[in-house]
Each structure stands twice: as C-alpha cells, then as structure tokens.
Amino acid sequence: MKLNNVMLITGATSGIGKALADHYYKKNYKLILVGGTKEKVDILKKKFKKNILAIHADLTKPSDIKKIVRESINKFKKIDFLIANAGLYEPDKILSGNPDRWDRVISVNVTSVFRLVNLVLPHMKKNKFGDIAITSSISGHQAIHWEPIYSASKHAIQSFAHGLRTQVAKNNIRVISIAPGMVMTELWDIDPIKNKKYIDTMIKKGNALDVKEVVACFDFAFSRGRGANIRDLVILPTNQNL
C-alpha cells in the first residue's frame, strides 16, 4: 500500500460511505468526501479536522461531477482510490411506479459512475496507479423481483466494472466490485441511531450485515498485492436467502 494515499468517496454522509470515511480517516488517508445534502456535508467538515475535502454535489448534474474532480486535483494533486458508493434505492412496481424517479436512480447509480470514472482515469493513468471500487449489490448478480429498477441499475454497473477492468489493467489500475446483501442503513430509510436496537438484533440473528463487515471487504480488496485484482466480492448476511 502506498503512503500519502488520496481517496475519493461518494455518498460519504451516510451508511457504507460514512463508515468508509471513518475507517480511512483513522488510517491517515487524505479524503475527498462527497454528499448530496449540504447540512450533512457541513457535519463532515466539522468532524474531520485535517486532510479532507468535503464537497456538496448533485451527482445527476455533469457540472457538479466535473467540480468534484477539479477541486480534488487542485487540493491533493492526485486521486489514488475512487469509491463510487453513492446510490439510490427504488423498490417500485413497474405498473404503478414513477418513471421520473427511475431516471434519477439510473442517473445516480449508473451514469454518475460513468462520468466520474471518465474524469478520474486520466489522473490515475498519469500516475500509473489507481484502484476504482464500486459499491454494487447482490441485486447486480441476480434479478430481484421486488426491486427491478434498482436491480437493473446494479446489473448495468456490474457490466461496466468488468469491461472497465480489462481496459485499464495495463495501467496498474484495478477495478473492484463489492456487492453486499442487506445492510441496515439510511438507504432503507433506517435511522442508525434511533433504530440501533433493531439493527443490532437483525445483525445478531444473521438477517443483516454490520456495515463494518462491508468496509472490511473494501479493505481486503485494496490490500491485495498489485498482481491481484478482487474483481467481485459478494457478502451476504448468513440468513439472507438469496
């Protein structure tokens, strides 16, 4: 692992992204933390006192994605690790669902990743080093009937990750997909503080993952020697029947 690491995390104000930010801040990484809610981004600025850049951005806007990379390079001169973690959940039925919401899901879960990777890659290629990790889902490995739009977005990002990996491997850039099952986070409209007892019970029973287990998957993938690329890592709660 290189010293003086710079890591960009989207969706860093809650859930898996927040846990990743906490973890890598403790490991002395320089962090670019991106969130879609200004108030939550301001909290990150107060929480982390050094070597961070917290950016409020709307990932459905190409101009905001350009701003993320521009400000990141201006401050840290490089991006070693990109974790494309931001995502929206959509459980709608097709017959009664809202296509406008579906467009937003695709824009955040898929298109924003395309655009962000496109802008970060030249800097990684120049430095002949980079890891791109994408927070996927078990829904990207099998179609789940109660969330077809979300599942479709994760299938798309899986295909993107696999194709991207073969294109950039020669530049010492790895592409990693981490696909969790049920994690009790804000993605499911669960408040981690108010619902802590319920979350702890679900984890203890093996019906949900502790977010720390997901963070450990990223850490495992990043810490492999440069001759190894964890292409896909699927992690499920012990009792999730998928």
Let me know if 150 is a catalytic residue: yes
Q: State the amino acid at position 215 in one-letter form.
A: V
Does residue 52 sit in helix, strand or coil?
strand
The single residue of 24, 25, 29, 150 carrying the catalytic annotation is: 150
Neighbour count for residue 66 (Cβ, 10 Å): 14
Q: State the amino acid at position 48 in one-letter form.
A: F
Asked if 215 and 23 touch (Cβ cutoff 8 Å), the reply is: yes
Separation of alpha carbons 104 and 154, rounded Å: 14
Q: Of 130, 116, 121, which Cα lies nearest the Cα of 57?
A: 116
Asked if 45 and 23 touch (Cβ cutoff 8 Å), the reply is: no
Non-local CB neighbours of 65 within 8 Å, separated by 6+ positions? 57, 59, 112, 115, 116, 119
Q: Which residues are catalytic?
A: 150
